[in-house]
Amino acid sequence: MEIAEASTTSGQTAQADQQQPQETTTTKTTTPAADQTTTAGAENAEPAAPMSKNALKRLRRAQEWEDGREDRKRRRREKRVAGKARRREERAELLAQGADPAVLFAKRAPARLVPVSLILDCDFEAYMTDKERVSLSSQVTRCYSENRNFKYKAHLWISGWRGKLRERFETAMESQHAHWKGVSLEEGDFLAAAARAREGMRSAEGGEMADSLQRSADAAAANRWERDEREPFPLPGPVPELDAEHADVVYLTSESPYTLERLEPNTSYVIGGLVDKNREKGLCYRRAVERGIRTARLPIGQYMKLRTRQILATNHVVEIMLRWLECEDWAEAFMRVIPKRKGFEMIADGDEDKTGNGGEDGDQGDQGEDGEENKEGGEKNGEEDKEDGKKSGEDKEKNGEDGEKDKEDEEDEEKNKEDGKKNKEDGEQNGEDETKGSNSQDPK
């Protein structure tokens, strides 16, 4: 019995050994066919289009920027350490001179929340280049920083929070937005953000009335919206009527025929997050009118004459609104925020400081505007890439601008990183203070 089983097993093994060479032979015969198919596919494939000079420049700059990431982190860390050491030395010197420690170490009063919402409409990704999207992310960061540092802070919303803008914040900017406080993110459009903002402003934690807003509420009957010029961008067909459901929403756009006189309480002001070098004129205005939303423009022309266009970066508009809440004076807000390089002359009589080159801190928060107005050197559209041979002279002229622009972009990126680190440290410190305060309370 055992011998028969062994013989059967030996027979099966021999049969398997005979079949194995056949399988190997079959594999060898099919391999040349596969190689022939692969070769034929490679021959039929179209050769890759050569990259233009400008595309190579962009690729090279992006690679250089990525290679220097660790070095920038090190420099930012060293800069923070040096800044802390310098501030300690300055405080020690003031104490040695007899300064009052209570005044020297006094904490800044926290910003007071008011029932006003500022919505950054970032739903224009399709209209911007990669460079412009980077600039927009810088402007959004500065908007958050300005809102938390003023005496009064508004409910800050970011609508259209998706796509490449969100991807950039989560990757290149290391998710610094995760540590932000007082900012709400909305994937939907600005109307979805306005609906949620309305609920927040009317809640018990909606904020307290600033003096400027209280005076606006008292004079609400006198604040009439009157057109001051004809329709700047007529729409095809009849203009839609205003949507009563969103009567508390105002879209700020320079093309509006209405002028913003005062900020109103329990109102959402939408600021277009669009950096397009003014290619899409009237885009924000049409977007608002088609949805029945009120529009308004800042009263820049009533107080000053600009040598350049009246288009401001998103962070500049936010800062102007916050300054008005504090000083209730458009002229002062414009003078302190609008960059010096725009150059302006005040229309109303005033001091010599109110004419000429602009006010103090005019270049503060300027990185967003840089991405909007400065020349980008080798940055070109696809159509321009095809004309490199005809534009060699222009390329030569713009090569000098590339280095300057890259340097500005690097400074902007470093500034954003510093703001993000500082915001994170402040948030952690606030959390510790709140914990200490709650622990010190009597449980009885």
Provide the annotated active-site residues. 276
Q: Given strand 304-306, what is the order of strands in its sheet?
A: 304-306, 344-346, 355-356
Residue 155's H or E segment, with its range, is strand 152-159
Residue 381 phi/psi, 5-degree rounding, is: -85, 170
Residue 324's H or E segment, with its range, is helix 314-327
**Could you tell me which of 338, 366, 373 has the C-alpha nearest to residue 132?**
373
C-alpha dihedral sign at 163, 167, 168, 170: positive
Compute the CA torsion angle 85, 91, 93, 96 (nearest 10 deg).
-140
Cβ-in-10-Å burial (0-12, 13-18, 19+) of 147 comes to buried
* DSSP at 151: S
**Could you tell me which of 122, 192, 194 has the C-alpha nearest to residue 164?**
122
DSSP 252-304: E-TT-SSB--S--TTEEEEEE---STT-STTHHHHHHHTTT-EEEB--HHHHE
Residues 6+ apart with CB under 8 A from 157: 117, 118, 119, 120, 183, 184, 185, 186, 193, 194, 196, 197, 268
Cβ-in-10-Å burial (0-12, 13-18, 19+) of 139 comes to buried
Residue 184's H or E segment, with its range, is strand 183-186
Contact 364/146 with Cβ under 8 angstroms? no
Compute the CA torsion angle 167, 173, 174, 178 (nearest 10 deg).
-80
How far, in Å, CA of 51 to CA of 416, rounded?
A: 32
Structure tokens at 26: 């079959």
Structure tokens at 79: 């800069």
